[in-house]
Amino acid sequence: MDQKKEKLINYIKNLGPTLIAFSGGTDSSLLAYLAKRFCKEPIAVTINSPLLSKKELDKSKEIAGQIGICHKILNYNPLNIKAFKSNPKNRCYLCKKYIFLKIVKYKKRIGFTSIIDGTNYDDLGKYRPGIKALKELRIKSPFAENKIYKSDIKDWLLEAGLNSFISPSSACLASRIPYNTNINTKKLNMVEMGEDILHDLGFKDVRIRNHFPIAIIEIKKEQINKLLNQEIKYNIIAKLKKIGFSYITVDLEGFRSGSLDENS
């Protein structure tokens, strides 16, 4: 890992004035931390949109503050894009393309030379249609390019005493809606509110898959028994029905990032 660290640090030192696509997640947090140490006056850029929960936006602000990096928030609404709204299989590509075009425009306006993102080497072996957009726009991915794995990133943060930067994977809210079913603000809000309900009850890794009017709950397998506790179960049912779901189900396979892609 030491050789990989040295190589990555040298890579970052040679970037010049740099923007970091910053979500506040584990990968982009380490990237912003390194950029702050080894780049001249980098800026972390977060895209605020209906696809980002308020909790995630607040987390990005908090972590940027802890790092001490300049943090710019750009507003963007992908629901204005007809092709995205129809929720095709390449939805992530369409969204990433428009998001990074916005960041590219901002980069040109302020005269910066590079945009980097937190794609890691593991991501290259998964279904990540957004990576195509990054390549088309020549966005640099220091972790992927230097064969830095997710486990390397976590180890690095732990060694640096930055345990609080390690967080569960959190894809955008649109990833909870099945492909080829229309995405709208109401559906996204239902997902966000539903997941907040479960988080407030102590469930950490959570997805509400919005097969409207059905809510499919995904949580860690070891927490399913807790969820099925009589009192907690009826509390969840009542609250999810209140926000608009008619039927509440639990995925017995448990929490799985990208489960909508399994049979698509």
Q: How far apart are CA 246 and CA 241, in angstroms?
A: 6
Write a three-state SS string for the chain. Answer: CHHHHHHHHHHHHCCCCEEEECCCCHHHHHHHHHHHHHCCCCEEEEEECCCCCHHHHHHHHHHHHHHCCEEEEEECCHHHCHHHHCCCCCHHHHHHHHHHHHHHHHHHHHCCCEEECCCCHHHHHCCCCHHHHHHHCCCECHHHHCCCCHHHHHHHHHHCCCHHHCCCCCCCHHHHCCCCCCCCHHHHHHHHHHHHHHHHCCCCCEEEEEECCEEEEEECHHHHHHHCCHHHHHHHHHHHHHCCCCEEEECCCCCCCCHHHCCC
Report the pLDDT value the prediction gives residue 192, as an integer from 0 to 100. 97
In the chain, which residues have pLDDT < 70? 1, 257-264
Query: Hey, what domains does the chain have and what are their CATH numbers?
Result: 2-165 (3.40.50.620), 173-261 (3.30.70)
pLDDT tens column, 61-74: 999 999 999 999 99
Give 247's strand partners. 214
Q: What pLDDT was estimated at residue 259? A: 53
Q: Which amino acid is at 88?
A: P
pLDDT digits (tens, 9 = 90+) for 91-149: 999 999 999 999 999 999 999 999 999 999 998 887 788 889 999 999 999 999 999 99
